[in-house]
Structure 1
Amino acid sequence: MKYYLCRTDGLETRKHVITPENLVFSGGGIKGIAYLGAIRALEETGVIQGVKRYSGASAGMIIAALLAIGMKEKELYRQMIAIDFKSFLEESRVKIEMLADDPKMLLEPMTSAMVLYDEVVYRGLCDGSYFTKWLIHMFKRKGFDGKTTYKQLYEATGKELHCVLCNLNYGKTVIANHEDTPDMPVVASVRASMSIPFIYRPFEWKEDIYVDGGTMYNYPIEIFDEGCPADNTLGFILSSKNDILTPSRREDKNLWQHIACTYEAVRNVANEYCFRGGNEYRTVFIDHKHINTLDFDLTYEEKEMLIKEGYQATYTYITKGKH
């Protein structure tokens, strides 16, 4: 069967963005650790010094928020290289990592009953409390906490943070920031933006239900274009060009693989917009070396590999743009 290929011909060739005021990070689940390398390159080249605004979706939003509160690459590295990301799947009655390794567990009456109950009643297996506690810990390291609102963050730092969310009640992408949602807690919105459907329970705020912003707008590269020149924004995607345009076949033989394949498909369609919209010139493409969005069981070597890819892709982009 022939699959659709996004057209890339006829797009305007423009110079790289090397003095950005805005940084935008795509979603990509566990692959987001590659952004540590990207940040390292931004700091080494001095590019990050002029940044005033941050945005992202899902895993990209986590990085955007941590940069907005003043985190530096070395501190982020120390905190994230040691963490066992499987812990982000805790606080669920079913051990998801075990379910991923042995999908036949679903054939056990008790396991299948708990999964069905949690999906029907709570609309997700994990409540996300471990991740929320971790993020609050990170915020407290910079003098903020879990109740810090967008307005308070902007007043304290002068940096704008724009969070991409999916509002299920209206079926629309919405943006949380200091102007539109000044009283919304930043930590809560980040928790909402990384709420992978069916894995994490959705987030409710003012009677509306929110899930992973990456489900509808995984790469919000144009989020600042209304008020800023396009050349002021630099974006990062957790995929190589080839992975977006000609993706490799993935296995879909059990529930976990089915969720992963569905999620990757949705994200890839969103990422294709980078080419349709002519945004390739202001995008850093980071090769994830076939690490999947839901591969929470990363080894130290795999983490370092992703960080290296993020660094090399970003450093190459910046240095080429200066010549």
Structure 2
Amino acid sequence: MGGMWSSGYALPTQPPPPADLDAEVNKTDYADLAKYDWPFENLVLEGGGTKGTAYPGALQVLEDVGILQSIKRFGGASAGACVAGLLSLGYKPGDIAALLNLDQKSITDDAWGGYLSLLPNFLRMFGWNPGEKYLSVLKMYVEHKTGNPDYTFKQLYDDKKVELCIICANVSKKGIEYFHPKTTPDVPIALAMRMSASIPGYFQPKVIEIKGRKHYYVDGGMLCNYPIHAFDGWFLSLRPKDTFFKKLGTEEDPFDRPTGEPSGDPNVRHRHETIGMVLYSTDELDLMKVGTNTRDLAEKATRQRPDTPLAKLRGQMMDEVKSEVDRKSQVIHAAQSLFRSFAENDLNRDGRISLTEYQRAMKELQSRDPTSVRVLFGDSFDMDASFTELDYNEDKMVTATEFMTFLENKGVVSPLEYILDVSNTPIQSLQDYIGALLSTYDVSSQRQYVKASDSERTIGICTDYISTLDMDMEEQDKIFLRKQGRSGTTAFLREYAKKCNIPLKTEE
């Protein structure tokens, strides 16, 4: 029965041998990037469920060019928290790939009774799977490196001088919590990793009793899926001048984004310290506001899809979505261009366009941007007929509302959708619905925590047809994702080195 513990599957008692990632890649594609003296000290990973299978490929590039070895602080939410935690303990990209190659359902699904227990468990425990098997695996990984399954954030920092930040959502407090040696020194790392990955409904929330009160923790990605800000400002800083005694009560922004260039002063943070990674499928492409060459990477992904059932099932759907995204982009550009012409020719500034004003605006647009006219009205543009088509109220005036209605009746999107970051995701199953719901939370959290300037320090990884809950991937699907991780990381580093004039390493 689906969801029941598999009697033929035993939890691993030690990590499996690392995956041979070198066999999947030609390192000459990015070997030249190892010559740069990269400034990064912090690495932050977005949550993304099974899309996180792409991370080992991306991390392999960071390791091969010498960046991963210099990271002192790791952070993440949800699936990103798991990867960040393993990295902080000293696991390599191949080790993480081997973990992700295991049967994920057999690790995460531990509800006795399978689907029959879904409703009873949800009503009694607020979730389907207890998540104890997943916690056991995480503890095994922690113990393998440290000798202690309950190894804490403080112990990690004391032993290795490595900081780990895991984001969890505290439902009881209606907010996020930062698990870090400064804020939660005595919390076991494995427990925080388990809490951060507690997808509501799929997993039961982890309940922690603190001073007689129960606190319910769920997936950190529900409120902050990409904590790129975590190591900015003073909040998690372990510098003596940034203790809570000295900072609490001041008006300083606890997560103020650093600016400027490296100064050589270890007490001064700068904008080059943090690098982050985000994951996006093709149907999330037009919501991708951070990352490098997102559209180019999506085009490349389409050409490299493997011949697997999942790629066949989703591939055509993603192609249709991408075509719609491209059309949306053209229409948005054309509509914005026309709105500018309307604004310039609205002579009495009443927010409505008369026939005379319309004729003037369209003549200017035809001269300046004929492509936009063709996109909106077709090849055979007629001035009077187009005005009549726009004038729904038949009052010899065109308003912005009428123009947006015109766009929607043509089967294209309204410019308001672009402003509000609205994207259409095909939903054909319960899994699609839950995945879209999680993406909705992700988009909402990005609006709150991610700034436009964060794009310059964010690696975008296009997972194409792979979505958040695809646990039935074949090996070729996983290889494809790792390849996408390498592609996105290489593209980012090349652009970053050029844009920021990263110096070459000095010979020792």
TM interval, short-chain normalised: 0.7 to 0.9
User: How far, CA to CA, are the matches of 1:222 and 1:277 in structure 2?
Assistant: 12
Computed over aligned residues only, the root mean square deviation of the Cα atoms, in angstroms, reads: 2.2
Distance, in Å, in 1 between the alignment partners of 2:476 and 2:203 is 27
Aligned to 1:151: 154
Q: How many residues align?
A: 291
Match of 2:275 among 234, 245, 248: 234
Shift of 1:255: 4.0
2:53 aligned residue: 33
CA contact (8 A) 1:29 1:294 kept: yes
Partner of 1:93: 112
**In structure 1, C-alpha distance between the alignment counterparts of 2:124 and 2:430, rounded to whole Å:** 19
Cα pair distance change 1:268/1:142, threshold 3 Å: same
Match among 175, 180, 185 for residue 172 of structure 1: 175
Q: Deviations over 1:73-100 (max 9, x none)?
A: 222233333x01121332113546xxxx
Cα distance in 2, alignment partners of residues 64 and 266 from structure 1:
21
Alignment of 1:12-161 (within 5 A): 18-81=38-101, 83-95=102-114, 111=116, 114-161=117-164
Q: How much has 1:270 moved relative to structure 2? A: 2.5
**C-alpha separation in 2, matches of 1:80 and 1:255:** 23
Cα distance in 2 between the residues matched to 1:309 and 1:145: 35
* Greater shift in the superposed pair: 275-284 or 151-160: 275-284
The 3-state SS of whatever aligns with 2:142 is helix
C-alpha displacement of 1:248 = 5.9
Q: TM-score if structure 1 supplies the norm length?
A: 0.84
- Identical counterparts, % of pairs: 30
Which residue identity is paired with 2:108? L
Residues 184 and 299 of structure 1, relative CA distance in 2, 3 Å threshold:
same
Q: CA deviation at 1:276?
A: 3.9
The whole-number CA distance in structure 2 between the counterparts of 1:268 and 1:144 is: 39
Q: Which residue of 1 aligns with 2:221?
A: 214
Any runs of at least 4 consecutive aligned residues in structure 1 with deviations exceeding 6 A, and if so which?
none
Query: Cα deviations across residues 253-285 of structure 1 (Å, max 9, x unaligned)?
Result: 554433222112111332455764421110000
User: Is 2:490 the partner of 1:315?
Assistant: yes
Instruction: Read off the aligned partner of 1:226 and give its amino acid letter.
Output: G
Q: Are residues 275 and 52 of structure 1, via their aligned partners in 2, closer, same or farther at CA, if it must alter by over 3 Å?
A: closer
Question: Is 1:244 aligned to 2:291, yes or no?
Answer: no
Distance 1:290 1:273 in 2: 27
For the residues of structure 2 that align with 1:23 and 1:217, how far apart are their CA atoms?
16
Verify: 1:183 aligned to 2:202, yes or no: no
Q: What per-residue deviation string (whole Å, max 9, x for no partner) do you get for residues 203-255 of structure 1?
A: 12222111000000001011111043232100100116825246763344554
Distance in 1 (CA, whole Å) between partners of 2:446 and 2:479 is 24
**Structure-2 separation of matches of 1:132 and 1:66:** 13
Question: Which structure has the greater CA radius of gyration?
Answer: 2
Q: Does 1:291 align with 2:466?
A: yes
Amino acid in the other structure paired with 2:492:
Y
Paired residue for 1:263? 438
Q: Distance in 2 between matches of 1:244 and 1:75?
A: 32
Larger RCO: Structure 1 or Structure 2 (Cα < 8 Å, ≥ 6 residues apart)? 1
Q: Residues 18 and 318 of structure 1 are in contact (CA less than 8 Å); yes or no, is this contact kept in structure 2?
A: no
Query: 2:287 touches 2:423 (CA, 8 Å); kept in 1?
Result: no
Question: Residue 304 of structure 1: CA displacement?
Answer: 0.7
**AA at the equivalent of 2:187:** M
Work out whether residues 192 and 210 of structure 1, in 8 Å CA contact, stay in contact via their aligned partners in 2.
yes
- The one-letter code of the counterpart of 1:258 is Y
Instruction: Report the Cα distance in structure 2 between the residues aligned to 1:225 and 1:126, rounded to whole angstroms.
Output: 35
- Corresponding residue to 1:281 among 456, 463, 467: 456
Deviation at 1:195, TM superposition (A): 0.1
> 1:136 deviation in Å?
1.7
Residues 34, 306 of structure 1: 8 Å contact kept: yes
SS of equivalent residue, structure 1 residue 163: strand
Mark the runs of 5 or more structure 1 residues left unpaired by the alignment.
1-16, 97-110
Decide whether the 8 Å contact of 2:277 with 2:461 is kept in 1: yes
Q: Find the counterpart in structure 2 of residue 104 from structure 1.
A: none
2:478 match: 303
TM-score, scaled to structure 2: 0.54
